[in-house]
Amino acid sequence: MLRIIATTALAFSLLSLGSAQAEDRPTLEIVWPVAGSVIELGNDPEKAIGVVVNFTLLPAGECDGVSQCGHVHMKIDPAGDTCNIPGKPYNSMNSDFGGDFIKARFGHCQDAAGKHVIGVLLADDHHKPILVDGKPVTALVTVTTK
């Protein structure tokens, strides 16, 4: 009987350890806009992008050695650089203020109206990509702006 209890306790311990390790893997998801959305730019070419992460988002340089802490870099049409802030390798990031909203600056695109891919990348306190299984933690969504 004790052997069954000990075996069961060990199994539950291993299961909860596996769950804890799975929860520790950084994740990143774009929750707004949803894929296929049509976004009205109107007079304001800056729109908020909402993300969900299991990571603490703070301004760059403020994580103070805390693991699972960083910020998000965002690019519009990440396959190229046509929508980047002039002189920068991205369109926007939240490294100045932290948090889970990032401004998408469609005004930097040669053609603000049209089909665009919004890409976000999870970065550490020093702007280096967070890697899981050797790959950066990213999320993409395709939208149409008009």
Per-residue pLDDT of the chain (146 residues; tens, 9 = 90+): 334 333 333 333 333 333 334 448 999 999 999 999 999 998 888 888 899 999 999 988 899 988 899 999 999 999 999 999 998 888 987 766 777 788 899 999 999 999 999 999 999 998 999 999 999 999 999 999 99
Residues in a beta bridge with 135: 132
What is the model's pTM?
0.78
Within a 13 Å sphere around the CA of 122, how many CA atoms are in the beta-carbon half? 25
For 26-145, CATH gives 2.60.40.10
DSSP state letter for 60? T
Residues in a beta bridge with 121: 73, 138
Q: In whole angstroms, give the CA distance from residue 93 to residue 54.
A: 17
